[in-house]
């Protein structure tokens, strides 16, 4: 079954179409050549018989074969043809016999020509399929590698071997482009990580310098609101830098950092962590599918951050006395975590940009909802590192529905 499927894809793919085009070209040219030869041969035979019997002859006209024995005694209806050498006398029966012989020759010629044309077509198709194997294989190698390359892994190279042709040059250019992209992404991520790390030290110092006198009561009452406002800004900057560091680190999660994790337990732990925030806003939390264990192959600490961000996003971008729905289920070899809320109504166009950095949506930004605007960006980065899929879409009534789809453990 798999072999048949591969052959089907190859036949209807680039190689099959190229081979079919080459074979069709040869077949059409061969048919044209045969048609010209048939026309020339038919005209030559007709001219020869015309000269022989003294009149134009239709080699395709139906004739009746006379009895050869009767030709010996034929004496009537004699046609005289004068040539440069002598006079030739030919009977009507003899001329009919000549026309029949010519027609029979043409029929046999046409039959064998068609047989040879079919053989030529089969050989042309086979040779075309054979000749297109090498370029088709090269293009297939380039296409397979292009499918495997992503922003997370730019280290692969095509390194196409073989003679220097257009396809090999294309592969070399793709390798060069990948090397440049890998260097650019590495430089960008390194800059974010270094800048975030360097900024944490002065921010920590500023935070301590503000908290110490405030705790000791050495700040005048009229200045305390300004100090509290400065502390809130410093905390937000600290959270922002921590989020940027997390995004930079989540882009490079090796396979050996993953382990078998109970996602249901992780969801229960994160729900407990946001319980105080949810109760403070009067939110009703409805859960399903988190009672039984559901195992996935992920990095335990990182996936907990992703689940926590999704749940906190559902709490922060919600209305008071609203609701949050949490649903965890197994669909075949996939595990789907869906979290919905009763927050602001978003259009489909607005939802597509919510995973972009610092994009909190127009309504939440105007409402002054706290947050860095990196929550779903971090989740998307973690999902990509685990070959998972994050989907954000408008709710059925209001709010958002965030779905995180992960690969379930095989055992």
Tokens coding 59: 């080699």
The mean per-residue pLDDT over the stretch 335-360 comes to 85
- Side-chain half-sphere exposure of 182, counting CA atoms within 13 A: 13
Average per-residue pLDDT for the chain: 77
Among residues 97, 11, 111, the alpha carbon closest in space to that of 52 is found at: 97
Contact between residue 378 and residue 362 where contact means Cβ atoms under 8 Å apart: no
Higher pLDDT: 123 or 329? It is: 329
Contact between residue 324 and residue 277 where contact means Cβ atoms under 8 Å apart: no
User: Residue 78's pLDDT is what?
Assistant: 43
All domains of the chain, ordered by start, with CATH?
2-131 (no CATH), 166-250 (1.10.287.130), 256-407 (3.30.565.10)
Angle subtended at Cα 241 by Cα 342 and Cα 402, rounded to the nearest 5 degrees:
25
Among residues 327, 324, 312, the alpha carbon closest in space to that of 274 is found at: 312
Q: Distance between CA atoms of 302 and 266, rounded to whole angstroms?
A: 11
Handedness of CA 158, 162, 164, 165 (dihedral sign): negative
| H/E segment holding residue 79 | strand 78-82
Q: Specify the pTM.
A: 0.55
181-208 confidence digits (pLDDT tens):
888 877 877 787 777 778 778 888 888 8
308-321 confidence digits (pLDDT tens):
999 999 998 899 99
| H/E segment holding residue 78 | strand 78-82
Residue 389 confidence class, pLDDT cut points 50, 70, 90? very high
Handedness of CA 358, 361, 364, 366 (dihedral sign): positive
Whole-Å CA distances, 142 to 1, 54, 87, 336: 26, 71, 78, 33
> Which range scores top for mean pLDDT: 64-68, 139-143, 392-396?
392-396
The mean per-residue pLDDT over the stretch 138-155 comes to 73
Contact between residue 323 and residue 285 where contact means Cβ atoms under 8 Å apart: yes
Query: Three-state DSSP class for 407?
Result: strand
Angle subtended at Cα 205 by Cα 204 and Cα 209, rounded to the nearest 5 degrees:
120
Q: Which residues pair with 389 in a beta bridge?
A: 405
Higher pLDDT: 371 or 181? It is: 181
User: Residue 331's pLDDT is what?
Assistant: 92
Tokens coding 242: 């921590």
**Beta strand 284-288 with 323-331: parallel, antiparallel or unpaired?**
parallel
Q: Distance between CA atoms of 104 and 60, rounded to whole angstroms?
A: 9
Query: Three-state DSSP class for 150?
Result: strand
Among residues 330, 333, 329, 260, the alpha carbon closest in space to that of 298 is found at: 260
Residue 81 confidence class, pLDDT cut points 50, 70, 90? very low
86-105 confidence digits (pLDDT tens):
444 444 555 566 667 777 77
């Amino acid at each position: 079954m798999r072999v048949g499927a591969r052959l089907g894809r190859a036949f209807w793919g680039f190689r099959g179409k190229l081979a079919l085009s080459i074979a069709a070209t040869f077949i059409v040219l061969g048919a044209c050549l045969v048609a010209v030869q048939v026309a020339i041969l038919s005209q030559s035979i007709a001219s020869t018989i015309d000269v022989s019997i003294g009149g134009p002859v239709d080699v395709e006209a139906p004739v009746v074969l006379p009895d050869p024995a009767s030709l010996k005694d034929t004496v009537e209806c004699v046609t005289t043809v004068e040539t440069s050498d002598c006079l030739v006398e030919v009977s009507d029966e003899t001329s009919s016999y000549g026309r029949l012989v010519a027609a029979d020759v043409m029929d046999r010629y046409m039959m064998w020509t068609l047989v040879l044309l079919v053989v030529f077509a089969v050989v042309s198709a086979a040779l075309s399929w054979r000749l297109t194997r090498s370029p088709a294989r090269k293009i297939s190698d380039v296409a397979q590698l292009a499918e495997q390359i992503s922003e997370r892994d730019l280290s692969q190279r095509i390194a196409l071997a073989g003679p220097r042709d257009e396809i090999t040059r294309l592969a070399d250019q793709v390798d060069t482009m990948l090397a440049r992209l890998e260097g650019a992404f590495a430089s960008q991520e390194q800059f974010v990580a270094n800048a975030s790390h360097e900024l944490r030290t002065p921010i920590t110092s500023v935070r301590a310098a503000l908290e110490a006198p405030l705790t000791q009561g050495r700040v005048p009452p009229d200045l305390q609101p300004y100090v509290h406002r400065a502390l809130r800004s410093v905390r937000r900057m600290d959270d922002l830098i921590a989020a940027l560091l997390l995004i930079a680190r989540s882009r490079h999660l090796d396979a050996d950092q993953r382990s078998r994790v109970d996602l249901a337990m992780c969801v229960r732990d994160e729900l407990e962590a946001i319980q105080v925030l949810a109760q403070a806003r009067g939110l009703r939390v409805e859960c399903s599918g988190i009672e039984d264990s559901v195992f996935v192959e992920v990095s335990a600490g990182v996936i907990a951050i992703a689940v926590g961000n999704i749940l906190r996003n559902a709490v922060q971008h919600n209305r008071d006395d609203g609701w949050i729905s949490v649903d965890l289920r197994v669909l075949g070899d996939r595990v789907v975590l869906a979290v919905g809320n009763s927050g602001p109504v978003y259009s489909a166009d607005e939802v597509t940009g919510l995973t972009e950095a610092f994009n909190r949506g127009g309504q939440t930004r105007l409402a002054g909802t706290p947050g860095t605007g990196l929550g779903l960006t971090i989740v998307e980065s973690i999902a990509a590192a685990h070959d998972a899929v994050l989907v954000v879409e408008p709710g059925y009534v209001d709010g958002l529905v965030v779905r995180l789809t992960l690969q379930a453990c095989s055992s």
